[in-house]
Amino acid sequence: MEVIDRVPIELDAGEFLQFPGVRSLKGQDISQLIEKCRQLIEPKAVFKFVKVVGIYGDEVHLDTGHKLRSVVLGGMLEHGQKVALYVVTIGSGLERKASKEAKDSILRSWMLDKVGDYALDEASAYLKSYVEEALNGGVSVFSPGSGTGKLFGIDQQKVLFQILNPSESIGVSLTPGCMMVPRKSLSGVLAVTRRDYVACQYCPRERCDNRRKPFSGEHYPLGCEAEAD
Ligand code: SF4
């Protein structure tokens, strides 16, 4: 198990303004806003490399003795492969500030929330490149509950949390409904895959500011593309 107590992230006003949904903020004093947020952000991560020791349909068996149930992991991972399980967070400071601000200014609170999204994105990008270096290749990101939740269910958070125990190392806990607290946290599996996987490709949601790839229809397991056409 590895813990990064202070994930090194750079927060840049110009880059933030390129972030989905915030272009309308051009002209506001973003540098000052980011400087204030910086003091409230505590980016931390915990991760563990595990080996896939068996794949039975949508059930992926790990060398820790745990099983992850997911159609997409079952279809894209390979027997014997090393993958990283992770949880990353920016802590609860900014979230608390944003909810206090909401009483006086919804816009101000929304801006703080967006800086939080940007900081979390930067922290997960750092972790992703760290893992890519260790696994010697580009990785796909699989997050429980992402998209429609049908390919990797939100309930699988429980397995990740059993293995990583992030409440102890980085202060992230799970509600009975499998939501993470602090809310500005991400979890999942990072794995080198033959085909790049982005959950947005299989998510029909309209008007999502965070979409990374256009919707391409239902997900079909590797080798089934002919049937999909
Ligand atoms: S389109 Fe939006 S909701 Fe759907 S997976 Fe992508 S980021 Fe998530």
Note the pLDDT tens digit of each residue in 147-192. 889 999 999 999 999 999 999 999 999 999 999 999 999 999 999 9
- Whole-Å CA distances, 75 to 25, 57, 142, 202: 41, 8, 12, 14
Q: What is the pTM of this model?
A: 0.90
Ligand 1: nearest atom to the Cα of 199: 5
In terms of phi and psi (left: phi > 0; alpha: psi -120 to 50; beta: otherwise), the region of 226 is alpha
Q: Are 164 and 1 in contact (CB under 8 A)?
A: yes
C-beta 146 within 6 A of ligand 1: yes
Q: Answer whether 116's CB lies under 8 Å from 94's CB.
A: yes
Tell whether ligand 1 has an atom less than 6 A from the beta carbon of residue 198: no
Q: Does residue 208 have its Cβ closer than 6 Å to ligand 1?
A: yes
**pLDDT at residue 221, as a whole number:** 65
- Please choose, from the candidates 6, 96, 94, the residue with its C-alpha nearest in 3D space to the C-alpha of residue 44: 6
53 C-alpha to ligand 1 centroid (Å): 30
pLDDT at 226: 41
pLDDT above 70: residue 229: no
Report pLDDT digits (tens) over 74-118. 999 999 999 999 999 999 999 999 999 888 888 889 889 999 999
Going 197 to 201 to 150 to 173, the CA torsion angle's sign is positive
Q: What angle do CA 106, 125, 82 make, to 5 degrees?
A: 135
Of 203, 223, 225, which is closest to residue 212 (Cα–Cα)?
203
For 179-226, what is each residue's pLDDT tens digit? 999 999 999 999 999 989 999 999 999 888 888 899 988 776 655 544
CA-nearest of 139, 140, 174, 168 to 154 is 174
Confirm or reject: Cβ of 205 under 6 Å from ligand 1: yes
pLDDT digit string, tens, across residues 111-123: 899 999 999 999 9
